[in-house]
Each structure stands twice: as C-alpha cells, then as structure tokens.
C-alpha cells in the first residue's frame, strides 16, 4: 500500500462510524458547541486578548497556503503534506507570539529572577516568534528561522525547564514541558539541516541523529504516559482530563499512546525512520483535527483551554513531518529523494 493510499485511508476511515455514535454523546457535544458559540457573541470574544492570537495564526496560515499553492499543485498527497510541515510550526508560533503580546505580564514572571528586564524579554520573544512564523510561512530564510527556533527552545530548557525539573522532580507536568520543547527543537533543527548545502548534495547530514533522538525519546515517553493514563489529553500528555462529552474518551489515549510508542521506538533504534516519522506526523495531525479542533471550538473564547492546546499539538505533528522530510525515501535516487524537499526550502 503506497503512502497516498495510507493517508486517504487514515483520513476517511473514522467517517463511517459517525452515524453510530451514541446520541447522548452527540447531544453533549452539540450542547457544548452551542455554549461556545453563545460565548463568541459575548464580550469575552471581543476582547483583544482573545482575538490577537487567532488573527495572527490565521494571517500566517493564509500566507503559508498562498505560497504553497503553486509549488505543490502537481505534487502527490504525501509530498503536499510534507511541504505543509513548516506551516504546522509557523501557525502555532504566530499564536504563541500573540500570547506574548497580550499576556506579557504573566509571561514576564516566568523569566528567571536573575535576568534583568523580564518584561522586555516577554515582548522580545513574541517579536522573534512572529518573525520566525513569517519566515517559515513565506519560505524566506527558513533555515535561519528554524535554527533560531531550535536554539530558543534549548534556551528555554537551560533557563526555565531544567531548573524547574530539578526543583520539583516529582512533578510529571514539569518533565513533559521540558520533553515537549526538546522534541520541538529536534523538528526545528531537522528543518534547518534540510537547507544546508551538505544535505542538498548528499541527502544526509551528520547532525540528523541528534534531531532524531530529540524527537524520539520524548515521543516514546509521551506514548507510555498515554497508555498508563489514557484519560489525559493525548499527544503531549497534560494535567487536563479529556472532556466528558468527547466520544470514546479512553480510546484517544490508548490509540495515541500506541502510535507514539511504536514510532518513538523506531526512531530511537534508527529503523524505518522516514516511515515512523511520517506515521507520527499523520497520526498527530488526525488527533489535532478530530480531537483538539472540537475542543478548540468548545472553548473558543479561552486561549489557554482551547487554541493553545490545538497549536501545541499541531507543532508535534509538524515535528514528525519535518523529520520525515529530512529522510530520503528508501530505494529513491538522491535527486528523487531531495528534489521536492529542497524546492520547498529555498
């Protein structure tokens, strides 16, 4: 079965089951959505603090899709998906930039106390995020932007996440946040590597192993957590519980956990890495569409409870696809393996 048929099967397979969902669950979902739409008409939705992250994310999405429309018109579905992977990182970066602009005071309190000018750094990171998002979406200096994002996430590790883990080593969420940003850095560095001259000529690079392990180990741990705690919101397991109106609540955790364990293991032992990363990216993308999009709609007026979860998990999908993009298909010639990818990274 070729990759295009796999993608189409994954996307269409859940649809026939929709008419068989329990009516009570569908009623709960509809009631929650109705409440959210009523909230949209309320004053909370009109707040600039809510609107700005949505507007920035939408603007970057439109720019990215417009830039890719002609480039991928004749490409197969998997190639189109891989071409979209930088946008799966760019759009969330724009959303997070909006968070930095409207929540600067709260974010400034996360800056270590020994670093002066905490409010400045909150705004500075917001500006850096929107610049990186524009670069990735417009496909201009994308390698530099991706490398900058990777360095930024590693900086967060050194300045915030690792000290937090050392201070409260028993706190599972602190570990997950640290692991999440390591995986994000791995995806960013994988994208940066695909823009180097060495990768363009040889289809490989000496530092791809570091990007691979930076993705593999966190994903493997996330998968184990989802299997142990299936009711936690999956992808990057959080402290939040899957909403009661979500159909098949435990199944989301078990399915995502199995996917992450299988793909994380393959990436860890360096076997069938392209296929594993592709399956990871596609599986998490389906999770974003069928799990986190309904949550986003249900909590549309709350950035912390809706949009940020959606954006965070979309980055994880992009991370998987970016690493798949860095791997030449088995049996392909060097030119065949990198031509489409290189064209999208110029």
The pLDDT assigned to 328 comes to 78
Helix (H) or strand (E) holding 67: helix 48-71
- Give the list of residues 6+ apart from residue 74 with CB closer than 8 angstroms, or none: none
The CA distance from 243 to 33, in Å, is 12
Digit-coded pLDDT (tens) for 80-94 = 899 999 999 999 999
The pLDDT assigned to 45 comes to 52
Q: Please count the other Cβ atoms lying within 10 Å of the Cβ belonging to residue 283.
A: 21
42 pLDDT exceeds 90?
Answer: no
The pLDDT assigned to 228 comes to 97
- Give the list of residues 6+ apart from residue 12 with CB closer than 8 angstroms, or none: none
How far apart, in Å, do the first and last CA atoms of the chain sit? 31
Q: What angle do CA 42, 44, 45 make, to 5 degrees?
A: 75
Digit-coded pLDDT (tens) for 320-337 = 999 999 997 765 544 444
Total residue count of the chain as it appears in this document: 346
Q: Please count the other Cβ atoms lying within 10 Å of the Cβ belonging to residue 159.
A: 16
Mean pLDDT of 35-42: 46
List phi, psi (to 5°) of 333: -70, 165
Mean pLDDT of 67-85: 82
Averaged pLDDT score across all residues of the chain: 85
Strand partners, 241: 232
Strand partners, 232: 241
> Where do the structural domains in the chain lie, given as residue ranges?
24-344
Digit-coded pLDDT (tens) for 256-299 = 999 999 999 999 999 999 999 999 999 999 999 999 999 999 99
Q: Of 14, 86, 25, whose CA–CA distance to 315 is shortest?
A: 86
Q: Ramachandran region of residue 300, left (φ > 0), alpha (ψ -120 to 50) or beta?
A: alpha
The pLDDT assigned to 201 comes to 83
The CA distance from 318 to 83, in Å, is 10
- Of residues 46 and 93, more confidence is placed in 93
Q: Please count the other Cβ atoms lying within 10 Å of the Cβ belonging to residue 149.
A: 27
Digit-coded pLDDT (tens) for 89-117 = 999 999 999 999 999 999 999 999 999 99
The pLDDT assigned to 339 comes to 42
The pLDDT assigned to 88 comes to 97
Cβ density class 87-124: b for 16+ within 10 Å, e for less: bbbbbbbbbbbbbbbbbbeebbeebeeeeeebeebbbe
């Amino acid at each position: 079965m070729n990759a295009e048929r796999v993608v189409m099967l994954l996307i269409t397979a859940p649809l026939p089951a929709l008419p068989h969902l329990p009516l009570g669950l569908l009623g709960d979902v509809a009631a929650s959505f109705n409440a959210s739409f009523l909230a949209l008409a309320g004053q909370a939705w009109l707040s600039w603090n809510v609107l700005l992250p949505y507007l920035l994310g939408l603007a970057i999405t439109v720019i990215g899709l417009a830039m890719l429309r002609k480039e991928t018109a004749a490409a197969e579905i998997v190639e189109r998906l891989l071409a979209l992977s930088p946008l799966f990182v760019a759009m969330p970066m724009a959303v997070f930039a909006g968070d930095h602009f409207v929540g600067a005071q709260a974010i400034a309190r996360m800056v270590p106390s020994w670093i002066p000018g905490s409010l400045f750094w909150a705004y500075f990171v917001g500006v850096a995020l929107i610049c990186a998002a524009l670069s990735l979406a417009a496909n201009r200096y994308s390698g530099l932007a991706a490398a900058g994002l990777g360095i930024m996430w590693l900086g967060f590790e050194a300045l915030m996440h690792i000290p937090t883990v050392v201070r409260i080593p028993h706190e599972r969420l602190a570990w997950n946040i640290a692991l999440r940003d390591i995986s994000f850095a791995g995806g960013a560095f994988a994208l940066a590597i695909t823009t180097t001259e060495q990768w363009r000529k040889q289809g490989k690079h000496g530092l791809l192993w570091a990007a691979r392990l930076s993705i593999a180990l966190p994903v493997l741990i996330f998968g184990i957590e989802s299997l142990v705690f299936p009711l936690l919101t999956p992808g990057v397991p959080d402290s939040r519980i899957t909403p009661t109106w979500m159909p098949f609540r435990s199944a989301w955790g078990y399915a995502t956990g199995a996917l992450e364990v299988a793909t994380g293991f393959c990436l860890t032992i360096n076997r069938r890495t392209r296929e594993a990363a592709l399956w990871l990216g596609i599986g998490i993308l389906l999770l974003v569409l069928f799990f986190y999009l309904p949550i986003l709609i249900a909590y549309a007026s709350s950035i912390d409870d809706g949009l940020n979860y959606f954006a965070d998990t979309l980055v994880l999908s992009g991370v998987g696809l970016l690493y798949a993009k860095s791997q030449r298909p088995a049996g392909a010639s060097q030119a065949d393996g990198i031509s489409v990818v290189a064209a999208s990274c110029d």
